[in-house]
Amino acid sequence: MKKAIHPTYHAQATIKCACGNEVKIGSTVEKINIELCSLCHPFYTGKQKIVDTARRVEKFKARQDKKSTEILDSKAKAVKKAARAAKKAEKKLKETEE
């Protein structure tokens, strides 16, 4: 192996997160600054952070609510229609028996 081409290895390199967490590991870079770590990332903490620019989340939830009510309304209409059809068929059956 060539001696002069490899970067220097720092056994106690510092990784510093924006939340203040510091971790010491081995790396070829002595100091590393990051924005998210396992202590502040939403996946690991379980806290969901939604930055709602231009009300996109609100609009999406409103559309979903509207769709769910439309589905319920259409099911209710189908049940009413089936009940009317059954009543009509029953009435027709009574007329044919008389």
Q: What is the pLDDT of residues 62-83, one digit of tens each?
A: 888 888 888 777 888 888 888 8
Beta-strand pair 31-34/10-17: parallel
The architecture in CATH of the region 7-46 reads: Irregular (4.10)
Q: Tokens 């559309």 sit at which residue?
A: 63
pLDDT digits (tens, 9 = 90+) for 12-62: 999 999 989 999 999 999 999 998 888 888 777 877 766 666 788 888 888
State the average pLDDT over residues 77-96.
Answer: 86
Spatial distance between the Cα atoms of 54 and 4, rounded to a whole number of angstroms: 54
Report which of residues 96 and 1 the model is more confident about: 96
